[in-house]
Amino acid sequence: MQQKKEIINKLRSSNLRPTKQRILIARKLFDREETFHFTAESLNKAVNEKRHTKISLATIYNTVEAFKKAGHIREILTNNSKSYYDTNIKSHHHFYDPDSKKLTDIDYQEVILKKIPNPPKGKKIKDLEVVISLQKK
């Protein structure tokens, strides 16, 4: 749960002017118990379903990009044509079910890596993500 004030601080601290739209989107994303998996389209729906004055789709895209750059959300790997995002920014992994196109978090400690390769020369590891694709039994 994050109060409006906290949300505004979160925005300010990442150099994002706390506009009506950003506050609304941020509350939708962060003011909840569970982490949240979404696409631009599903967020647009979630934000606008009960509103008379809509937030434009362009703003949804702008805001998602801004929040991603600020590190408040992260983009998830899939091989779907849409971009998926996650409000859980802690290192963790995913199940992906191609049938329902749904992602589920896998808790960090559920996956233990015993060995990982050295990155190529001049590069360092930014992120490591495990995706387990599912199918019907």
Contact footprint for DNA (CB under 7 A): 12, 16-22, 39-41, 53-59, 61-63, 65, 81-83
120 in contact with a copy of itself (CB under 8 A) = yes
Q: How many residues bind a copy of itself (CB under 8 A)?
A: 39
Least distance in Å: CB of 23 to DNA? 8
Tell me which of DNA, a copy of itself, none is bound by residue 52, counting a contact when its beta carbon lies within the kind-specific cut-off of 5 to 8 angstroms.
none
Tell me which residue has tokens 């490591």: 128
With b meaning 16 or more CB within 10 Å and e meaning fewer, what string describes 61-80?
eebbebbeeeebbbebebee
Identify whether the C-beta of residue 85 lies closer than 8 Å to the C-beta of residue 74. Answer: yes
Least distance in Å: CB of 57 to DNA? 6
Q: Which two tokens stand for residue 4?
A: 């409006």
Nearer to a copy of itself, 57 or 132 (CB): 132
Tell me which residue has tokens 């909840």: 32
Q: Which residues in the 96-115 window bind a copy of itself by CB under 8 A? A: 97-98, 104, 106-107, 110-115
Half-sphere exposure of 39 (CA within 13 A, CB side): 11
